Structure 1
Amino acid sequence: MRGRFQQFIAVFTATLSAVSDGMQYAWTAPIIPMIQRSNSTLQVTHTDVLWLENIYMIGGLAGIPFTILTIDRFGRKTSILIGAVQNLVAWILIGFASSIEYIYVARFLSGLAGDVGFVAAPMYVAEIADKKIRGFLGSWIYLKMLVGVVIIYSVAPFVSIPVSSAVGCSFLIIELFTFPFMPESPYFYIMKNNPAAARKSLQRLRSTDDVQEEMEEIAITVKMQQTKKIRYTDLVMKENSRKALLIMTVLNLAQHFSGYSVILMNVHSILDDAGAGTSLNSNNTAILYSILMLVAALLASGLVDKAGRKILLGASSVTTGLAILILAIYLALKNYGTNVEPYNWIPIFSVMAFAICFKFGLGIVPIVTTGELFPTNLKALGMTSADGIYIISSILSIYIYQVLKENYGIHVPFFLFAVCCFFTAIFTVFFIPETKGKTLKEIQLMLNGNKVPNNVSDVEKKLNDPENFSTL
């Protein structure tokens, strides 16, 4: 129990920046209406608004090479701290911005920080957590990001920009004062040929001196994955990393082509187009939507290590698809002239059902599995590649939504999103392995098509088999 408490503390402090990242991700929704007011000290044009929304993603793309460099060279812990400093600078720039150019720089920096945080943090969590609670701890990143969304929706419309920026800074300051005292990943120390530091780190994380068996497992895992010199082509040439990349590509595409980014950034206009009458104003609607996502994600985090990744992901994909399909049918009927006014509660129901169903699995399982699937020596490259796909798919989903909406009607993109959800459910059933309760080495054996061994001696036999040894 003491060991798990130490892991909880390490993960809690490591993921505090995710709250700030969530605030930055949703920052434009409540802030843009504020800076567009006639009495705002910041003068913005329509073009400025578009750039403020997109430059965050551009910063994330630009941060990919930087992330690959820092994670394996300086460590998971140092990379997380670098991201926290970048995000802190971004909030300070926003809080004291005297022109829109300062906010451009801040949004770009926050994108860089988010890229580092959402690659380094899942990797750190996956490598320090006990296999029985790894899924639960891995879900904290998304949970805290959703907490950040709730905070920015709840605070920003009612206070000044410097005050909301100070709230964002507070989480980062706490992280910078606490996380430096947490242990580094023992996997990273083994990669750097420092077994003494790895042992000390593992003893702290498990709150026991008896870590020899786990040290041997970590050493075997790293040795199996460092047999050959790292090549970028290994990400697609080796069976285990190729399967991991395929799974993460599909899951990252699925997250956005389920309609997540589109609904998050356009929920007000979607409800208006649907003619949904509601007594809630836009601020309250946004708060309720974000709270429902957070509650669903909290429930899922408690089940991800009990029910398993596959069942949550499959059930979430199907129910999310149904929620989107109901909305698409309603919008299609309205578009074709059918009187749907007696049923104008349906789009509200669909959007809120989407918030619950999406975050119950499809919105949380990928962040858990992204730290589990890639082999240690290719983890930085694999996870940053997956992160790049995540960013690009977000941009594409929003672009495709706007094009289809303008040319064919608002219902058409939602039919597309529903089909993508159902495809994800099928993919989950037939192609995604269940990683619940598996060690990282067992997951790599599964991805290679090998039977998971029962003990360390079986792993050593696998290690001595040249055929298996060359592919791990």
Structure 2
Amino acid sequence: MFISKTILHQTASVIPAKFIQLIIGISQGWLSPTLNTLRYNSNSNSNSGLSLNTEECSWIASLHYVGRIFGPLISFLLLDKIGRKNLLILSSIVIFSTWIIVWLTRSVRLIYIARFVFGLAVGTTDTVIPIYICENSSSNIRGVFNSILIAFFFLGEILAFVFCTYFEYNTVAIIHVAIGFLIFLSTFLLKETAQFFILNDKYKKAEKNFFWLRGYEANTKKEFEDMKLYLSEQKSKLSFELLKNAEIRKCLRIALISNILILSSGFTAINTLVSIVIPSIDTITSNELTILLGLFQFVGVCMSSYSIDQFGRRPLVLIAAGISTVTHIITASLYYVEEHIEQLPHFAWLIFVSLTTYSVTVAMILLPLSRTIRGEILPQNIKALGCSLTVSLSSIISFVISKIFLLVSEEYGMYVNFFIFSLVSFTLIIYIYIDLPETKGMTLIDIQKFLKK
């Protein structure tokens, strides 16, 4: 009964964060079918009054990544001043506001602005949510919670795929405004972390929140006292001064490189433009195939949420990176043969299977573990800076990949993109094998003690 109660409390504390991931997934999923529909106004089921060329599509697909570069700066400056909860509330307000812009405007430039501002909010939440989850969760369920968050992201994408495929542009925008407003209201139920209160010398509030989440027992009391001692030593040090410490630089290096390589393996571009990448099959449109791919992603993440904390971080990432490498090589080969040698039978189905395998693998393993790794491995006094740098640099990579993906495809061929992605995935295998420590099952304090050794 005790375990069930504490898990219930911890689950309740992250539900609003899951809803934020849902609206982010909706906002991300909106891109692929919408751009496919509005590209040269190729489909008549839109009342948007917009007709987009390749250049405009590439900007709309990538501009939110520019915002994500600067969003973490907001997190770094405010994370330990106004708290994790308040930052997430502000982000939800911004996301809700961007859908009002999309609903009311028919200007491509205003859509550019809306996507950039949306990126600011996503960059903030990408920095804050892993910290919030890891600080409010027990060591045995951190990975599960991050996996469930990813599941909500893909659930949001599926909803957007369906809405954009079967409803008109204006109707979709109104639906998204309504969902965004409800999710904004839910964020007031977030539970501020004990770590934030301790860093601001609010020990009674920290104790109240911590024991509500973890229960009041001997092991949790010891963990709380260890955390107070650890944070009291950490908060007096400036983040930039810590970069002189070799151990701190190692933690920062692992968080940065692992996350950057995962996102550089092509997921951001593929997920944003999948309706354009996958050809239509007989009577099944590319938008409908995108819905099917999204369903596979969602089911995969739901399955992984029950098992991701049963295995080590290192072997799971190595397996996923291996699958990513192989599927990209297969996709590049299929496109090369189709474009330069001969038409392949069942080409569209083969592309669909290869991309779905890759996307499901990333959704099940790499995305939840990338968040978990940076939330676990960074020390408290470098966490805001480290997470901010990680998200900003990852966003730069994501922007470049998403911006040039269509342009490279038109100029050199689709296969070139996937050949590059396969090289990045292979590099990820080598790096994880060499540098990533195993952190499964450790408390955040134990991880730092382990890394110092």
Determine if the TM-score, normalized by the shorter chain, exceeds 0.5.
yes
1:227-246 aligned within 5 A: 227=236, 229-232=237-240, 234=242, 236-246=243-253
Q: Between 389-398 and 116-125, report the one with greater CA deviation.
A: 389-398
1:7-26 aligned within 5 A: 7-26=10-29
Q: Distance in 2 between matches of 1:101 and 1:343?
A: 37
**1:164 to 2:198 alignment:** no
Specify whether residues 137 and 104 from structure 1 end up closer, same or farther in structure 2 by C-alpha distance, changes over 3 A only: same
| Conserved 8 A contact 2:92-2:121 | yes
Secondary structure of the corresponding residue to residue 250 of structure 1: helix
1:348-363 aligned within 5 A: 348-363=352-367
Secondary structure of the corresponding residue to residue 15 of structure 1: helix
| Conserved 8 A contact 1:252-1:389 | no
Specify whether residues 400 and 446 from structure 1 end up closer, same or farther in structure 2 by C-alpha distance, changes over 3 A only: farther
Q: Distance in 1 between matches of 2:106 and 2:411?
A: 39
Q: CA deviation at 1:87?
A: 1.0
Structure 1 residues without counterparts, runs of 5 or longer:
451-472
CA offset digits 1:325-363 (Å, max 9, x no partner) = 122222333344256336664323212221222223123
Q: Distance in 2 between matches of 1:2 and 1:178?
A: 21
1:61-100 aligned within 5 A: 61-100=69-108
Corresponding residue number in structure 2 for 1:311: 315
Query: Would you identify which runs of 4 or more consecutive aligned residues in structure 1 move more than 6 Å?
Result: none
Q: Distance in 2 between matches of 1:290 and 1:5?
A: 29
Q: Distance in 2 between matches of 1:268 and 1:60?
A: 23
CA offset digits 1:413-443 (Å, max 9, x no partner) = 3222122212212222221111111111122
| Conserved 8 A contact 1:3-1:208 | no
The TM-score normalised by the length of structure 1 is: 0.86
Secondary structure of the corresponding residue to residue 436 of structure 1: coil
Specify whether residues 93 and 216 from structure 1 end up closer, same or farther in structure 2 by C-alpha distance, changes over 3 A only: same
CA offset digits 1:299-325 (Å, max 9, x no partner) = 222222111222221111111211111
Give the residue type in structure 1 aligned to 2:222.
E
1:244-263 aligned within 5 A: 244-263=251-270
Q: CA deviation at 1:160?
A: 3.5
The TM-score normalised by the length of structure 2 is: 0.89
1:177-256 aligned within 5 A: 177-208=185-216, 211-227=220-236, 229-232=237-240, 234=242, 236-256=243-263
CA offset digits 1:279-303 (Å, max 9, x no partner) = 4211211101111112222222222
Q: CA deviation at 1:399?
A: 4.9
Give the residue type in structure 2 aligned to 1:60.
R
| Conserved 8 A contact 2:58-2:406 | no
Q: CA deviation at 1:412?
A: 2.9
Q: Distance in 1 between matches of 2:437 and 2:146?
A: 17
Q: Distance in 2 between matches of 1:31 and 1:269?
A: 10
Q: CA deviation at 1:31?
A: 2.5
Q: Distance in 1 between matches of 2:108 and 2:427?
A: 42
Specify whether residues 101 and 424 from structure 1 end up closer, same or farther in structure 2 by C-alpha distance, changes over 3 A only: closer
Q: Distance in 1 between matches of 2:326 and 2:58?
A: 31
Give the residue type in structure 2 aligned to 1:241.
I
| Conserved 8 A contact 2:28-2:272 | no
Q: CA deviation at 1:81?
A: 0.6
Q: CA RMSD in A?
A: 2.5
| Conserved 8 A contact 2:29-2:158 | no
Q: Distance in 2 between matches of 1:259 and 1:447?
A: 31
Give the residue type in structure 2 aligned to 1:218.
M
**Equivalent residue in structure 2 for 1:141, among 132, 136, 149:** 149
1:249-288 aligned within 5 A: 249-272=256-279, 277-288=281-292
| Conserved 8 A contact 1:91-1:169 | yes
Q: Between 193-202 and 19-28, report the one with greater CA deviation.
A: 19-28
Q: Distance in 1 between matches of 2:324 and 2:95?
A: 32
Give the residue type in structure 1 aligned to 2:148.
W
Secondary structure of the corresponding residue to residue 363 of structure 1: helix
Q: Distance in 2 between matches of 1:53 and 1:263?
A: 11
1:411-430 aligned within 5 A: 411-430=415-434
Give the residue type in structure 2 aligned to 1:192.
N
Q: Between 384-393 and 151-160, report the one with greater CA deviation.
A: 151-160
**Equivalent residue in structure 1 for 2:296, among 277, 288, 292:** 292
| Conserved 8 A contact 1:80-1:120 | yes
Give the residue type in structure 2 aligned to 1:413.
N
Q: Percent identity?
A: 22
Q: Distance in 2 between matches of 1:341 and 1:55?
A: 37
Secondary structure of the corresponding residue to residue 132 of structure 1: coil
| Conserved 8 A contact 1:328-1:412 | yes
Give the residue type in structure 1 aligned to 2:424.
C
Q: Distance in 1 between matches of 2:78 and 2:433?
A: 35
Q: Distance in 2 between matches of 1:238 and 1:400?
A: 38
Corresponding residue number in structure 2 for 1:456: none
Specify whether residues 252 and 349 from structure 1 end up closer, same or farther in structure 2 by C-alpha distance, changes over 3 A only: same
Specify whether residues 245 and 196 from structure 1 end up closer, same or farther in structure 2 by C-alpha distance, changes over 3 A only: same
